[in-house]
Amino acid sequence: MPVLTASQIRALMPIQPPFLFLDEAVLPATGISVPSSPPATARYRITGDEFFLRGHFRDNPVFPASIMVEALGQLGVLWLLASPPAPAAGRSIDPATIWFASSEGVRCHRICRPDDELALTLRLLRVRHPLATFTGTIRVGTEKTATVEELTLTFDYK
């Protein structure tokens, strides 16, 4: 499973800096249509230069939990775009049609700050057009940071 660099991720993603929270990613070779496939993984280093940290919170920068959930969703978007589901039969997913639909069971376990490196893990639960549902975890080192029981994206084909 090759590592996708930040520039390769930017080339695939409709989401771009300053709102892209993936520095590198590894996607399973089995594609997205196999729920038993290995997870997708990614990394993001919190630099401290993120625009929203200036006000979250004043003189005490804390990476928002909502942005952590966004990062997991972005990994799901990347996985969908790089490995369209098998029933697509040669059709590609339209990047303009991938949207966040819902998240369930979001839990935060640790505050994240500048210089922390987020390690994201995303597992496919199910995919059936127009929905793809994942479960995800974020860690900093060995510490669990956040978990999402179900993160659902909606998508369509070109």
Strands 3-4 and 99-108 turn out to be unpaired
Determine which one of 10, 43, 56, 123 is catalytic: 56
pLDDT at 147 over 90: yes
Q: Which stretches within the chain are classed as H helix?
A: 6-12, 65-82
Q: Which two tokens stand for residue 157?
A: 């084909």
Cα–Cα distance measured from residue 26 to residue 111, given in angstroms and rounded to the nearest whole number: 25
The whole-number pLDDT of residue 91 equals 81
Per the prediction, the chain carries an average pLDDT of: 94
| pLDDT tens-place string over residues 68-112 | 999 999 999 999 999 877 666 678 899 999 999 999 999 999 999
Q: What is the pTM of this model?
A: 0.95
More confident of the two residues 84 and 55: 55
- Would you call 129 a catalytic residue per the annotation? no
- Residue 127, domain CATH: 3.10.129.10
- In this structure, which amino acid lies at residue 90? G
Query: In the predicted model, what is the mean pLDDT of residues 32-51?
Result: 91
Using a 10 angstrom Cβ sphere, with 0-12 exposed, 13-18 middle and 19 or more buried, the burial of residue 58 is exposed
**Structural domain of residue 119, as residue ranges?**
3-154
Nearest of 112, 132, 139 to residue 43 by alpha carbon: 139
CA separation, residue 99 to residues 59, 74, 102, 130, 145 (Å): 33, 10, 9, 10, 24
Q: How many domains does the chain have?
A: 1
Share of the chain above pLDDT 70, in %: 96
What is the SS3 assignment for 86?
helix
CA separation, residue 67 to residues 5, 24, 138 (Å): 20, 17, 12
